[in-house]
Amino acid sequence: MPTLSAPFEDLLITPVIDGPFFINQLFQKKFAHPAPDYGNPIICFYRKDWDHFIPVCYTSFLPHDEVILVGGAMTDGSAFTHMPEELPAAIRRTGGIYYHVLKFAFDHFKDDCEAFFGHAGDRRAYEVDINAGFEPTGYEHLIAHFHKPVSDRRKHFLIEKIHEIGPF
């Protein structure tokens, strides 16, 4: 039976201690700078064989006071070429691998924050973010996921506080 950490056979979503160790080269290729060495990285790995694991998706979760900032999300499209034909199709049908990473992380970090915030400038990532539970905040690209009951006043306070940070 699938779990949040293993939504499909041969996929594992897990926190890692040293994100750059696994994804720095890909991060540099996608974002033109080194992967961050801070925050709490979550990576989805594809198990090609018992001794061969391929990182498929990475996202960083950075605690900031009473919230967690979500950023640096990326998926390695070439990783899907290593998978049996039916697996990428099944992943797409269920929201995509980034969607599964977000759902895992929302559950994993649920007791560590009042809300999750993201800065989504990419249209495709934004769509996945919204499907996973983020909502628009009224500020361009700034999205929030309030996973606990919180008053409208508190929501407004947190949104304004994170908006003041600027893009992250």
Q: Render 15-57 in DSSP notation, one character per residue.
A: E-S-HHHHHHHHHHHHHSSPPPSSSEEEEEEEEEETTEEEEEE
Q: Are 37 and 55 in contact (CB under 8 A)?
A: no
For strand 115-119 and strand 142-145, is the pairing parallel, antiparallel, or unpaired?
Answer: antiparallel
pTM of the model: 0.95
Query: At residue 24, what are phi and psi to the nearest 5 degrees?
Result: -60, -45
**How much is the pLDDT for 2?**
80
- Please state which CATH number belongs to domain 11-118: 3.40.630
First to last CA, the chain: 36
Number of Cβ atoms within 10 Å of the Cβ of 108: 17
**How much is the pLDDT for 68?**
98
Residue 42 region by backbone torsions, left for phi larger than 0, else alpha for psi between -120 and 50, else beta: beta
What's the rounded mean pLDDT across residues 124-131? 96
Give the model's confidence band at 155: pLDDT under 50 very low, under 70 low, under 90 confident, else very high: very high
**How much is the pLDDT for 141?**
96
Query: At residue 16, what are phi and psi to the nearest 5 degrees?
Result: -130, 155
Cα–Cα distance, 157 to 131 (Å, whole number): 24
Q: What is the mean pLDDT of the chain?
A: 96
